[in-house]
Copies of this chain bind each other. A is one copy, B any other.
Amino acid sequence: MKECEAKDYQQAHKKEMRAVQDSMDVLSGKWKIAILSSICYYNKRRFSDILHDVEGISNKMLSKELKELEINKLVNRSVMDTQPITVQYELTEHGRTLQTIINHLTAWGIEHRKKIIGE
């Protein structure tokens, strides 16, 4: 391989890594995926419902994570005009494109557990 080709090769690789990092920046952390999973499983979900679905999360964390997900346009927040106020969260179209990845992660997680813990 010529030097310039090696360089291109490495450049391509770095680009890929940046892309994966971008994804992980959005998705990693203790709660994000669980929250997304809860919302998309039920289609629409209220704050307190998610709080209940995701075991162990505090309201502070949930509030923070939902904000970040909203900034990244993965979820939509809509205040319902009820008494008292309720807030609905749902996945955006962009958020729904994560479905495939979440499914793969689910499948892989099950296999992984078998391999590591179950032996």
CB within 8 Å of B: which residues of A?
13-14, 16-24, 26-29, 33-34, 37-38, 41, 53-55, 72-73, 94, 97-98, 100-102, 104-113, 115-116
A112 touches B28 (CB 8 A): no
Residues of B within 8 A of A17 (CB): 33-34, 37-38, 54
Q: A101-B101, A101-B104, A116-B72 are in contact. Are A21 and B33 (CB under 8 A)?
A: yes
A106 touches B37 (CB 8 A): no
Copies per assembly: 2
In the complex formed, the residue of B with least CB distance to A13 is B41
Residues of B within 8 A of A104 (CB): 100-101, 104
Residues of B within 8 A of A116 (CB): 72-73
Residues of B within 8 A of A73 (CB): 115-116
Instruction: Supply 20 further A-B pairs (C-beta < 8 A) apart from A13-B53, A20-B37, A97-B108.
Output: A13-B37, A16-B37, A17-B38, A18-B109, A19-B110, A19-B113, A20-B33, A20-B102, A20-B109, A21-B109, A22-B109, A23-B106, A23-B108, A23-B112, A24-B33, A26-B112, A94-B112, A97-B111, A101-B104, A101-B108
